[in-house]
Amino acid sequence: MPEPKYNATELMIINAARLLKDGDQVFVGVGIPNLACNLARRTHAPNLQMIYEAGIIGARPKRLPLSIGDPTLVSGALSVCSMFEVFSLYLQRGNIDVGFLGGAQIDQFGNINATVIGDYAHPKVRLPGSGGSMEIAAWANRCYIITPHQLRRFPARVDFHTSAGFLEGGDARAKTGVRGSGPQAVVTNLGILKPDANGELVLAALHPGCSFEQAQANTGWALKQAEELEVTSAPTEEELRILREELDPQRIYI
Amino acid sequence: MSKLTSLSEAIHQHVHDGDLVYAAGFTHLIPFAAGHEIIRQGIKNLTLARATPDLIYDQMVAAGCARKVIFSYSGNPGVGSLKWLRDGMQNGSLEWEEYSHFGMISRLQAGASGLPFMPMRQTGALDLEKANPLYRRVADPYGGEDVVVVPALCPDVAIVHVQRADSEGNAHIWGILGEQREAAFAAKRVILTAEEIVDADVIRSDPNRTLIPSLVVSAVCHVPWCAHPSYTQGYYDRDNELYLRWEEISKDEASMQAYLDEWVYGVKDREEYMAKLGEDTRERLKPGVRLSAPVNYGSY
């Protein structure tokens, strides 16, 4: 049987979906995280629950949501509450298992910059800012980051800590007392980075056909490999079929 | 007592040069018609607060209404940036004050509750706390960890769009609630815009859905399609096409001015705007029907 063909976005969505567990309460954004959650729900995690920062609990979108507050997220949802309530009763209270994060820069210790390139007061490039990510990164039990693997996205240090990973490494995060365990995986088009005992992101897995050299060339610090570097299993035909035929038939994101 | 008035009169009465304005709505119920009326009336030096400035504030900044923005996510979600806000911050022509979403809505929650500030747990990310001196830390008087606090936000005027209200301003809202209620209770004056004006009996038939009571409302305006290109749950869908085209429309002064000339200055009010938008677009945005099961409040 020939290997199924897939693109980088499909590869990232499928690998992110595999990180989710059945029953996870997931604080999710639109786009790739939304697709990963819906794929997980249709495969190994039918009881996964999607929670949106707009205040929607248990969304069951009938069409692909195109905005973080798409009306399809509301119709058929389990509950709708105010933004203050979703951030306080659900996130701050500790009821969220998984948060998805993104940003322009991710550093060696999983800290994210979504705020500014250059000086804050005199920005070279002004980015959108935190949105919900400052609190999601702190208070979700575990966080996942999905991003293309590019040198400019992986500097050794970020210009601005929009949300906390492991800060300067070691016990720096633990000392702040934040409840969540921080970023547990960064899924890229080349492989998966995971934090080591010191909180440093190391290469834990490569996707089929990708090399350590490629990953290193696109990472702004001396990348370490996990003791047992794994190779992810290729996307299955079933995963690709669900993604292409059921979840994003118009190929808006994939 | 009826508070019904035209949107133009309500803006004239309640929005003044230099005011702090909170036009509420998280993706849902964003009162574009009110933003356009503020632009047409040439109101200046506003401080524009919203968690997500969205296209409405990009337009108001481009039209020269704003001196400052207060926000927590300044992007066109899933599409790109808000060029006029971004450029204004980059070139120093626009002041800004920034929070996370939770910080922003905690400010409103404090304002709405009559409290001086609202505490939040620490997040470990210190740079925004350092950049914005209104973030402070306070010792937990009960011996726990220090908490992060933000001050109450009490806008001079909040503009809140709803599905239906009676003429006194008692309003039903469903779908994404965002910060509608907190903005209304926090503000000194509230302009309520509604898709439908209904009898008080309709409001009283479902009191749990009345999130905004007349007592905080200054003016009630009947403005169908007020939120386009944002949406009103059950009434019309978000016009994602316009959001996708925003990058192109807003790319330079000429194209931005052309948009404002055509869709803001070129129409008298929302009725003319909708006539101009046309029947095909209105049809395209109409959702199907999905009714909730009725509840029995009981007769006592």
Helix H, strand E, coil C: the string for B173-198 is CCCCCCCHHHHHHHCCEEEEEEEEEC
Closest chain A residue to B232, measured at CA:
A71
Q: Phi and psi (nearest 5°) for B138? A: -135, 140
Among candidates B108, B123, B237 on the partner chain, residue whose Cβ is nearest the Cβ of A71: B237
Give pLDDT, residue B139: 97
Where does the pLDDT of residue B273 fall: very low under 50, low under 70, confident under 90, or very high at 90 and above? very high
A15 within domain boundaries: yes
Closest chain A residue to B107, measured at CA:
A84
Where does the pLDDT of residue A23 fall: very low under 50, low under 70, confident under 90, or very high at 90 and above? very high
Interface touch B177/A81, C-beta < 8 Å: yes
Cα gap B11→B300, rounded to integer Å: 42
User: pLDDT tens digits for B124-139?
Assistant: 999 999 999 999 999 9
Residues of chain A contacting residue B121, judged by C-beta atoms under 8 Å apart = 92, 138-139, 178-179
- Lowest-confidence pick of A65-74, B108-117, B174-183, B229-238: A65-74
Give pLDDT, residue A2: 54
User: pLDDT tens digits for B25-56?
Assistant: 999 999 999 999 999 999 999 999 999 999 99
Residue A191 in tokens: 């492989």
Interface touch A67/B238, C-beta < 8 Å: yes
User: pLDDT tens digits for A102-121?
Assistant: 889 999 999 999 999 999 99
Give pLDDT, residue A29: 77
Q: Tally C-beta pairs within 8 A across A and B.
A: 172
| pLDDT at residue B283 is higher than 90 | yes
| pLDDT at residue A235 is higher than 70 | yes
A252 within domain boundaries: no
Give pLDDT, residue B110: 98
Q: What is the mean predicted confidence (pLDDT) over A186-209?
A: 97
| pLDDT at residue A4 is higher than 70 | no
A2 within domain boundaries: no
We report the CATH number of the domain holding residue A182 as 3.40.1080.10
* Average pLDDT score over chain A: 94
Range(s) of the domain holding residue A34: 8-247
Cα gap B16→A200, rounded to integer Å: 52
Cα gap A45→A146, rounded to integer Å: 19
Interface touch A87/B101, C-beta < 8 Å: yes
Give chain A's domain count. 1
The ipTM (two decimal places) reads 0.96
Q: Which of A3, A10, A53, A168 is catalytic?
A: A53
Among candidates B178, B231, B243 on the partner chain, residue whose Cβ is nearest the Cβ of A71: B231
| pLDDT at residue A214 is higher than 70 | yes
Residue A215 in tokens: 């990953």
Where does the pLDDT of residue B289 fall: very low under 50, low under 70, confident under 90, or very high at 90 and above? very high
Q: What is the mean predicted confidence (pLDDT) over B68-94?
A: 93
A253 within domain boundaries: no
Q: What is the mean predicted confidence (pLDDT) over B174-184?
A: 97
- Lowest-confidence pick of A173-177, B198-202, B210-214: A173-177
Residues of chain A contacting residue B107, judged by C-beta atoms under 8 Å apart = none
Q: Contact B42/B247 with Cβ under 8 angstroms?
A: no
Among candidates B26, B100, B131 on the partner chain, residue whose Cβ is nearest the Cβ of A135: B100
* Average pLDDT score over chain B: 97
Where does the pLDDT of residue A64 fall: very low under 50, low under 70, confident under 90, or very high at 90 and above? confident
Among candidates B72, B124, B231 on the partner chain, residue whose Cβ is nearest the Cβ of A130: B72
Residues of chain B contacting residue A103, judged by C-beta atoms under 8 Å apart = none
Q: What is the mean predicted confidence (pLDDT) over A137-165?
A: 96
Q: What 3-state DSSP class applies to A99?
A: strand
A3 is catalytic: no
Interface touch B100/A69, C-beta < 8 Å: no
* Amino acid symbol at B3: K
Please give the residue that has the higher pLDDT: either A63 or A29.
A63
Q: What is the mean predicted confidence (pLDDT) over A130-156?
A: 96
Where does the pLDDT of residue A1 fall: very low under 50, low under 70, confident under 90, or very high at 90 and above? very low
Residues constituting chain B = 300
Structural domains present in chain B: 7-45+154-284 (3.40.1080.10)
